[in-house]
Amino acid sequence: MKEKLNKQLKRGKKYLKRVKDEKLIKKYFKENTLFLTFIIICVINSTMLRFFTMHTMENYLAIKPILADIGIVTIVGSFSYLFKGKKRYTYLLIASIFFTSICMINSIYYTFYTSFASASMLSLTQFIAPVSDAVVENVLQLKDLLYLIPFLYFVFTYHRLLKQGRFNRYSKEERKTKWLHTLIVGAATMVVFTVTLSGLEIGRFVKQWNREYIVMRFGIYLYQGNDVVKSLQPKISAMFGYDNAKKSFDEYFKDKSDTRDYKNEYTGILEGKNVIVIHAESFQDVALNKTFNGEEVTPNMNKLIKEGLFFSNFYSQVSVGTSSDTELTFNTSLMPTQNGTAFVSYFDRTYNGTPKFMKEKGYYTFSMHANNADFWNRRAMHESLGYEKFYSKETYKTEGEEMIGLGLSDKSFFKQSVEKLKKINEEHDKFYGIVISLSNHTPFSDVTKYGEFKVTMNEEVTNEDGTTTTVEHPYLEGTKLGNYFKSVHYADAALGEFFTELDEAGLLENTVVMLYGDHDARLPKADYVKMLNYDMTTDSVKSKDDPTYQEFNSYHYELNRKVPLLIWTKDDTIKAKQVDDIMGMYDVQPTISNMLGFYNKYSLGHDIFEIKDNNIVVFPNGNWLTNKVYYNSQKGEYMSLKDEVIGENYIKENSDYAEKLLDVSNNIIVFDLLNPNKNESAVSKEVSK
Ligand code: GP9
Ligand code: MN
């Protein structure tokens, strides 16, 4: 044994001596310049992508994704050695185009969706196209082209080697050995990488839990490979995982009553009333009651929220499906799907949609939106939700009308919608419909069309002679947040006109208006910091050491993403009240169904007037919010909202609840569990009260 070990040691020493004497490392570098360049440029690009997208220290210092990237590209690159002569270059060229494209696509995608691309979203490119202006302006940026530099360097290296006669041609034997050795190195790197992973990381990777989390720990290439497998999974798992899904579904709802088992002061109060729902694009609470030099950003909304039932801590729960995810959750009390979007990938499932229930109650149900009917696949999905008719772009006059951002201006859209509503009101006994606005859509750059609204800070300066002059500090002018306020100011004015026109047409009698902000406006954190900490005396942002500096960290950012929810009647059917309990989009259906007189057993949210301040809002990425805590599931960290000590149990119980809820929601959609033909237990429960 000892002798054997000694022999091995001797061999090892001899080899190291050879490496030193014959300068083997230098030789290796010289002989494999092209291959090594390929590895380096692929790793540089993926690292660059992570640095440009996720701005956290944890990401900047992460070694694991670099290791994973090296492993993957080494394995892929190793096969180049099997090709003869110039074909080896062609192979590496194709591979580097492939890896560079992954980085570029994800870079563009991230700017638009603040997420990484998914193969299940491939069909969504057709939805991106109509957003043309917004996409070009908001998405294609110089940084997206930076990935071409390393790639071009690779091409240049090849031509340089060729010119210098250093592009090696290997014999068959050499090629085979090189391939095998390189493959072993790649595989060994992957083994080292895998050993460093924690159980949690592996679990989340398998689940494709949160894309940022995966990219931060596994690198973009491994993420994308996993994503392709995961994207095929809905189709495959819909075939195979049914039994487990059905079991957990039955278990989840087993204690829930088949009919409504409570009554409160809101039960049935809206029964028989017409319903107009307003989907207010990117309307965020931050604009409410905000003033610039005494002028309100949203004077109309400020008035309405004082008159109606206003929910001041209301959050949308969107994933990559943004507007469409909100529509899903608003209408069905289900969460967005874990892969792809329900509107696009699962439009053919059965949904317990509010419009469907209202139709059963004898209402005429419809949706109105002046955008292309196929955007977010609404044409198909609105039918599945139970809207009898979708008044889309084709039914609106756009010629000669004002266009803002993505299309027809809200003012024109509302005006034309009122004409349609008048007709509907004449032809139908009662109606339930949604109007989906559009103008207040990112990138909020159509400023000239929003009307005059200054986002400045005025300073009264006393002159030497005692008179005063007003000095205007344009601190938010030109920022995205500043432009957003201008845009919301326009959207609010359009809303004001809509209410006036509805009133003039007599459409507010016997009608309830519900309004929700569909999701936050994805505004830069730095702009909020500037807004909160601008010092006009120095014309700059205060330093963090300044005692009056207001912190605005990532938790403040998350909490600030809340959107308005309003239920309003012209008469006093709905009395003015502000509800401050934490509430999510999935609580809307349970809350309004009690008012309107229907019941959906398979809702995931709660009637806010029953659950009150005991509520939890689960976000699609696993984060959750209660009246005590905002929990960040990716970081495994939380912020206590009331400065109290939070027990570990509290975090665990709520995290388990969130995980279970997301799982059940996803199963309902993927396995079509509300379809009475596929799931018998769903039949009898899908009834109106
Ligand atoms: C598109 C509009 C905007 O018709 O609803 O969608 P979004 O980009 O917010 O998902
Ligand atoms: Mn939207």
Ligand 1 lined by 430 (C-beta under 6 Å): no
**Nearest alpha-carbon partner for 92 in 152, 36, 38:** 38
Task: Read off the tokens for 363.
Answer: 């209402």
Atom of ligand 1 nearest to the CA of 321: 10
pLDDT band at 343 (very low <50, low <70, confident <90, very high): confident
Q: Tell me how crowded residue 675 is: count the other CB atoms within 10 A of its CB.
A: 16
* φ/ψ of residue 528, rounded to 5: -65, -40
pLDDT 10s digits, 243-256: 999 999 999 999 99
On average, the pLDDT of the chain sits at: 92
Task: Read off the tokens for 678.
Answer: 């596929």
Q: Tell me how crowded residue 57 is: count the other CB atoms within 10 A of its CB.
A: 7
Q: What is the dihedral of CA 660, 662, 668, 670, to 10 degrees?
A: -120
Ligand 1 lined by 439 (C-beta under 6 Å): no
Q: Stretch 270-293: mean pLDDT, rounded?
A: 98
Q: Which sign, positive or negative, has the C-alpha torsion 122, 123, 126, 128?
A: negative
Going from the Cα of 9 to the center of ligand 2, the distance in angstroms, rounded, reads 66
Ligand 1 lined by 390 (C-beta under 6 Å): no
pLDDT value at residue 539: 94
Measured CA to CA, the distance from residue 382 to residue 373 in angstroms comes to: 10
Atom of ligand 1 nearest to the CA of 279: 5
Ligand nearest to the CA of 410: 1
Going from the Cα of 42 to the center of ligand 1, the distance in angstroms, rounded, reads 34
* Of 125 and 627, more confident: 627
Going from the Cα of 345 to the center of ligand 1, the distance in angstroms, rounded, reads 17
The overall longest dimension of the chain from CA atoms, in Å, is 102
The DSSP secondary structure of 141-207, one letter per residue, reads -HHHHTTHHHHHHHHHHHHHHHHTT------HHHHHHHHHHHHHHHHHHHHHHHHH--HHHHHHHHH
Q: Whose CA is nearest to atom 7 of ligand 1?
A: 323
Q: Whose CA is nearest to atom 5 of ligand 1?
A: 323
Q: Stretch 411-417: mean pLDDT, rounded?
A: 98
Ligand nearest to the CA of 330: 2
Measured CA to CA, the distance from residue 217 to residue 204 in angstroms comes to: 10
CA angle 598, 604, 607 (to 5 degrees): 55
Ligand 1 lined by 147 (C-beta under 6 Å): no
* Of 230 and 218, more confident: 218
Atom of ligand 1 nearest to the CA of 375: 4
Ligand 1 lined by 441 (C-beta under 6 Å): yes
Atom of ligand 1 nearest to the CA of 518: 9
pLDDT 10s digits, 439-486: 999 999 999 999 999 999 999 999 999 999 999 999 999 999 999 999
Measured CA to CA, the distance from residue 340 to residue 327 in angstroms comes to: 15
Measured CA to CA, the distance from residue 527 to residue 481 in angstroms comes to: 6
In three-state secondary structure terms, 632 is strand
Owner of token pair 């969130």 = 658
Q: Tell me how crowded residue 113 is: count the other CB atoms within 10 A of its CB.
A: 20
Atom of ligand 1 nearest to the CA of 438: 2
**Nearest alpha-carbon partner for 273 in 588, 573, 502:** 573
pLDDT value at residue 210: 67
131 pLDDT exceeds 80?
no
In three-state secondary structure terms, 408 is strand
**Nearest alpha-carbon partner for 100 in 160, 144, 158:** 144
681 touches 650 (CB < 8 A): no
- Bridge-based pairing of strands 511-517 and 468-473 is unpaired
pLDDT value at residue 678: 80
pLDDT 10s digits, 3-57: 777 887 888 788 777 767 767 888 888 889 999 999 999 999 999 999 999 888 8
Ligand 1 lined by 375 (C-beta under 6 Å): yes
Task: Read off the tokens for 340.
Answer: 């792809």
136 pLDDT exceeds 60?
no
The DSSP secondary structure of 312-380, one letter per residue, reads TTEE----TTHHHHHHHHHHHS-PPPSSS-HHHHSTTS----HHHHHHHTT-EEEEEESS-TTGGGHHH
* Of 138 and 232, more confident: 232
581 Cα distance to chain centroid: 24
Ramachandran quadrant class, 208 (left: phi over 0; alpha: psi -120 to 50; beta: rest)? left
Task: Read off the tokens for 492.
Answer: 């609010």
Going from the Cα of 443 to the center of ligand 1, the distance in angstroms, rounded, reads 12
Q: Tell me how crowded residue 393 is: count the other CB atoms within 10 A of its CB.
A: 18
317 touches 617 (CB < 8 A): yes
Q: Whose CA is nearest to atom 3 of ligand 1?
A: 323
621 touches 634 (CB < 8 A): yes
Residue 194 half-sphere exposure toward CB, CA atoms < 13 A: 9
Atom of ligand 1 nearest to the CA of 323: 10
Amino acid at 611: I
Atom of ligand 1 nearest to the CA of 372: 4
Ligand 1 lined by 589 (C-beta under 6 Å): no
Measured CA to CA, the distance from residue 220 to residue 217 in angstroms comes to: 9
Going from the Cα of 499 to the center of ligand 2, the distance in angstroms, rounded, reads 21
651 touches 628 (CB < 8 A): no
62 touches 77 (CB < 8 A): no
Task: Read off the tokens for 354.
Answer: 């509010």
Q: Stretch 345-357: mean pLDDT, rounded?
A: 93
101 touches 145 (CB < 8 A): no
pLDDT value at residue 129: 46
* Of 498 and 169, more confident: 498
Whole-angstrom CA distances from 384 to 336, 347, 390 are: 15, 7, 12
Q: Tell me how crowded residue 257 is: count the other CB atoms within 10 A of its CB.
A: 11
Ligand nearest to the CA of 128: 1
In three-state secondary structure terms, 608 is helix
Q: Tell me which H or E stretch contains 565.
A: strand 565-569
Measured CA to CA, the distance from residue 262 to residue 259 in angstroms comes to: 9
Amino acid at 96: S
pLDDT 10s digits, 185-205: 999 999 999 999 998 888 778
The DSSP secondary structure of 416-457, one letter per residue, reads HHHHHHHHHHHH-S-EEEEEE--SS-TT---GGGS-S----E
Task: Read off the tokens for 69.
Answer: 């990237």
Ligand 1 lined by 322 (C-beta under 6 Å): yes
Overall pTM surpassing 0.85 (yes/no): no
Site to probe by mutation for ligand 1, drawn from 318, 343, 376, 381 as the one with most ligand atoms within 8 Å of Cβ, is 376
124 pLDDT exceeds 70?
no
The DSSP secondary structure of 461-478, one letter per residue, reads EE-TTS-EEEEEE-TTTT
The partner residues of 516 in beta bridges, in order of sequence, read 279, 565
Task: Read off the tokens for 688.
Answer: 């109106």
**Nearest alpha-carbon partner for 203 in 663, 649, 513, 676:** 663
- Bridge-based pairing of strands 540-541 and 468-473 is unpaired
Atom of ligand 1 nearest to the CA of 318: 10
pLDDT value at residue 94: 98
